[in-house]
Amino acid sequence: MSATFTCSRRATFAAASLRGNDESIRKGRKMMRENHHHHHHQPNRSIKTSSSHATTVLGIRKDSKTVLIADGQVTMGSEIIKHNVIKVRKLGDGVISGFAGSTADAFTLFERLEQKIEEHPGQLTRACVELAKNWRTDKYLRRLEATMIVADKHHMFQITGNGDVLEPSNGIIGIGSGGSYALAASKALVDVEGLSAMDIAKKAMDIAANTCVYTNDKFQILTLDSDASAEEEGGEKEKKEVDDGGEKGGEGKKAA
């Protein structure tokens, strides 16, 4: 009798264990189906992160002279596509700009900035703030990936897609993958007596070109003089210096 009861209890426990295992298996399969469904039907949310664009653009203001200089290299992955792309541009009367990032995105932003400058003539600060506001809030513009340097005879700003409009206290801005190298070199040279804004810009960009693999020494230069009318490429004399090899790898071209 006792042996029969013991066997009966063991059979009952075994059956309960099997039922418990079956229940666990069913629950596990249900959770897997729910996770699979959630994964495939969850909205695609792209997280926008700040990236270091593969180029170097440097802006320097010293002794009433503003210099904007950029390299000319375009890189796709590990391949160099072009050596002399124009990354600086004259906008309107007395305004110059350079960009790091997607070329198409940058030119779209150039067009928007030109519109803002026309709406607010002589008010570069307000034009830049309005552009940054639209860039930050507009459904289309906020997808654009670029960073810009914009300058006139009195101000120089860095504009980003995060709504930032930054004016440096020391008159130096560096953007792009080699921007930090050019910025550091410029800060070291800016207090050296006898060095003009142009001298500092060229030396700092040489250092960036020799340090950053995404930066070459084919420079394009735009200048502004607060004591005179705005000049493109620093006037024909300075443009000739660039074209004739007055700087390392000088294949400067006139911005469109």
pLDDT-based confidence at residue 43 (cuts at 50, 70, 90): very low
pLDDT of residue 139: 83
If you average pLDDT over each of 1-10, 74-83, 214-223, 229-238, which comes out highest?
214-223
Q: How far apart are CA 214 and CA 176, in angstroms?
A: 9
Q: What is the pLDDT of residue 89?
A: 92
Going edge to edge, which strands form the sheet with 156-159?
88-91, 95-101, 146-151, 156-159, 165-166
Does this model's pTM top 0.85? no
pLDDT band of 254, cuts 50, 70, 90: very low
Of the pLDDT bands very low, low, confident and very high (cuts 50, 70, 90), residue 217 is: very high
Q: Is the pLDDT confidence value at 103 over 60? A: yes
pLDDT category at 235 given cuts 50, 70, 90 is very low
Mean pLDDT of the region 80-100: 91
Annotation says 12 is catalytic: no
Q: Which of 70-74, 90-94, 99-103 has the highest average model confidence (pLDDT)?
A: 70-74
Q: Above pLDDT 90, what percent of the chain?
A: 47
At a CB cut-off of 8 Å and minimum separation 6, what does 88 contact? 57, 68, 69, 70, 96, 97, 98, 220, 221, 222, 255
Residues 173-182, mean pLDDT to the nearest whole number: 95
Question: What is the tens place of the pLDDT at every residue in 112-135?
Answer: 999 999 999 889 999 999 999 988
Catalytic residue among 12, 55, 103, 215: 55
pLDDT at residue 13 tops 60? no
**pLDDT beyond 50 at 236:** no
% of the chain residues with pLDDT over 70: 68
Q: Give 173 or 236, the one with higher predicted confidence.
A: 173
For position 23, what pLDDT does the model report? 67
CA separation for the pair 215, 218 (Å, rounded): 9
The average confidence (pLDDT) of the chain is 78
Look at residue 248 in the predicted model and tell me its pLDDT.
42
pLDDT confidence of 71, banded at 50, 70, 90? very high
